[in-house]
Amino acid sequence: MATSTGHRSQQDEEGTRRAALVAALEAAGREHSNAVVMFHTAIAEHLGLNATDHKTLDLLERHGPLSPGKLAQLTGLAPASVTGILDRLEARGFVRRRRDPEDRRRQVVEMLGQRAPEVERLFAGLVADLERVCADYSADELEVILDWTRRITQVQRDAAARLAELPRDRAPAGGAG
Distance CA 173, CA 55 (A): 23
- Backbone angles phi and psi of 143, in degrees to 5: -65, -40
- List the domain boundaries for the chain: 30-163
For residue 159, count other CB atoms closer than 10 A to its CB. 10
Q: Which residues pair with 110 in a beta bridge?
A: 96
Tell me, what's the pLDDT at 34? Answer: 96
Query: What interhelical angle do 68-75 and 51-63 show, nearest 10?
Result: 120
Tell me, what's the pLDDT at 172? Answer: 61
Tell me, what's the pLDDT at 120? Answer: 93
Tell me, what's the pLDDT at 176? Answer: 52
Q: Topology of 30-163 in CATH? A: Arc Repressor Mutant, subunit A (1.10.10)
**pLDDT averaged over consecutive 10-residue blocks of the chain (177 residues)?**
70 93 96 95 94 93 93 89 95 93 89 90 96 98 97 90 81 56
Cα separation values, 5 from 9, 11, 13, 14, 113, Å: 6, 10, 12, 14, 66
Tell me, what's the pLDDT at 59? Answer: 94
Who contacts 93 (Cβ-Cβ below 8 Å, separation ≥6)? 112, 114, 115
Which DSSP state fits 172?
P
Q: Check if the beta carbon of residue 115 is closer than 8 Å to that of residue 60.
A: no
